[in-house]
Structures are given as structure tokens and as C-alpha cells.
Amino acid sequence: MPKSPENTAARPGQERFVAEVDEQGLGAVDAVADESAPSSMWGEAWKQLRRRPIFWFSALLIVCALALAIVPGLFTRTDPTFCQLSNSYGEPSAGHPFGFTRQGCDIFARTVHGARASVSVGVLTTAIVVVIGSIVGAIAGYFGGFFDSLLSRVTDIFFAIPFVLAAIVVMQMFKGSSSIMTVVAVLAMFGWPQIARITRGAVMGVKNEDYVTAARSLGSGRLRILTRHILPNAAAPIIVTATVQLGSFIVAEATLSFLGIGLPPSIVSWGADIADAKAALRDHVSVLLYPAGALALTVLGFIMMGDAVRDALDPKARK
């Protein structure tokens, strides 16, 4: 039976316990600082990246590779094409820390100068592939319908062609007269489908967002919506794929040069040096070790950077 108000009232002389007043107040506890600017996706990604050792390690490898390619004169003054047979398979000495090749060329100088051709092919091919793949994928994903069906079938045809095998067959046409741009053009010809497919999926996932609908309702044209609102917000997977593919293109160039159908002998490259060193693999491992090691570290740097960027830009990974 419920107690009456008289029974629940305090009796004379009975002590009452009152909780202390919260000096800080719930309003101050629950207040949110809104003075700072809102953080963007790229800002959050940078916060995640700078906390990861793998990012700084891969960045160090990439910076070293770019430095070797851009300013090789900072590392060695020796001409990589100057060879003396008297130094054939010579041991390391002052000014020649890696020793000499079979033809008497300085291994250190050739390793340093070989970065320019390999990195140039990788960077230029990636740039062309990103442009072609982004255009094809964006048109297919945004407009859909006939454009999507046509471009998707074309992409599937190129996907069915083995990348390295196709490059080998086409490079046979330019054997003896190839150049860096020839290798870049051939690799780009067969390397764009993956970027196109990634771009198509990213655009299809973004084009129905609220900000795209708002821009469309405000009268923005299709081209403006695609270039100003959709592509910038779909760029994350494109950047990740392009970073990983850059390392693959460097390996592809080295493979072509190793087979003797890539860059001409007048251009110093890691692939050509690896091909020349295979004859001395048992007796002089160092001739193969240094160019192969430089190639492996460079490719490793780009692949690790792609993995780090992918984890930073993936909301599920951040959670």
C-alpha cells in the first residue's frame, strides 16, 4: 500500500543529506568546441598516416629513389658508360664501393644512374594510365546505360590480354629502336583497364550522394558535377591503385629490358644490368645483387605506400 505524504515527510530532528552542487555543470561537460574547422577525409587520412611507421619507411624509400633519378650527380661523379676491361669483376675500392661488372663498368654508378630510366618509366606510365583509366571509368560509371556497356566490354577485352605477354609481343616491333617513351606507350596501352574499373566503381558509389543531388538541383551541368563533385570524392581508391601499379610498371620495364626488348643498351637501366649479371651469378653475386636490390627496394616502397594510403583512406580500417 503506498505511503501517504505525511509518512514520507521528514520527521522533526531527522538529518537530511543533500548532494553537493556540481560546480562544473553538465553544460560545460557536454560542450563541444566548434571553433576549429571541420576535418576533411584527407585531413583524417594524414593523421592516420603520420602515426604509422610503414608510411615513413616507404616514404624514405621513395624519396631515395626519386633523388637517385633526379639528381644522380649528388651520389657519384663516375660515368656509368665508362668501362675498362682491365677492371673486369674488380673488387670494391676507393670511389667504387660496389666493384665492377664484367665489362669493367662501375656497379655503383650504374646502379645510381639506372634509377632514372626505371623510375621515369614507372611515373610516366602511371600518369598516362590514370588519365585514360579515369576518363573511361568516369564516363562509364556516371552516364551508365549504353556508355557503361560499351566501355565495360572494351575494358574486359583488355583485361583478358596478359599484360606482360602483350607488352613483349608489341615491343618486338620496336626492337633495336625503342626509347623510354616507346616503353611507356606500350605499358600504358595495356595497363589502364584496372584504373578504369576502379574509377567506374568509385563513381557509381558517389554519384547518388546528397551533395551530388544538391548540385544537380542547383542547375550544375553534368561535366561540372563530374569534375568538381564526383571525381574529387572518388579519388581515394584511384590514388591507392595507381601507387601500387607504379611499382608494377617499374618491374615490367625491368622485365622487358632483361629480355633485351625494352630500353636500348645506350640507356642505363636496372633490368639491363640484371640481364648482364646473370652469367656471373655463381662466381660474382654482387654484380647482380646491387641493381636487383635497388629495384626490389624501390618497388617495395611504392607497394608499402599504397597499402598505407589504402588503410588510411578506408573508413572501416580507421574504425
- C-alpha torsion 120→313→61→249, nearest 10: -30
**Whole-number pLDDT of residue 13:** 60
Give burial (CB, 10 Å; 0-12/13-18/19+) of 310. middle
> How many other C-beta atoms can be found within 10 angstroms of the C-beta atom of residue 48?
18
What is the Cα 95 distance to its own chain's centre?
Answer: 35
Is the CB of residue 59 less than 8 Å from the CB of residue 67? no
Which of the pair, 42 or 149, is modelled with greater confidence?
149
Exposure string over 218-240, b if 16+ CB within 10 A, otherwise e = eeeeeeebbeebbbebbbbbbeb
Residue 308 to residue 58: CA distance in whole angstroms: 9
Partners of 93 in the β-ladder: 96
Is the pLDDT at 5 greater than 80? The verdict is: no
Nearest to 40 by CA among 28, 31, 48: 48
**Whole-number pLDDT of residue 177:** 78
Exposure string over 50-71, b if 16+ CB within 10 A, otherwise e = eeeeebeebeebbebbeebbee
Does domain 101-318 sit in CATH 3.30.200.20? Answer: no
Is the CB of residue 287 less than 8 Å from the CB of residue 104? no
Residue 152 to residue 108: CA distance in whole angstroms: 46
> What is the percent of the chain with per-residue pLDDT over 70, rounded to a whole number?
85
> How many other C-beta atoms can be found within 10 angstroms of the C-beta atom of residue 106?
26
Mean per-residue pLDDT, 129-154: 90
Domain parsing of the chain, residue ranges: 101-318
pTM over 0.85: no
Q: What is the pLDDT of residues 214-264, one digit of tens each?
A: 888 888 888 888 888 888 888 888 998 999 899 999 999 999 988 888 888
Sign of CA dihedral 165, 166, 168, 169: positive
**Whole-number pLDDT of residue 281:** 77
- C-alpha torsion 215→219→222→225, nearest 10: -20
| Those residues with Cβ within 8 angstroms of residue 124's Cβ, 6 or more apart along the chain or in another chain | 180, 181, 184
Q: What is the pLDDT of residues 145-163, one digit of tens each?
A: 888 899 889 998 988 888 8
Which of the pair, 29 or 62, is modelled with greater confidence?
62
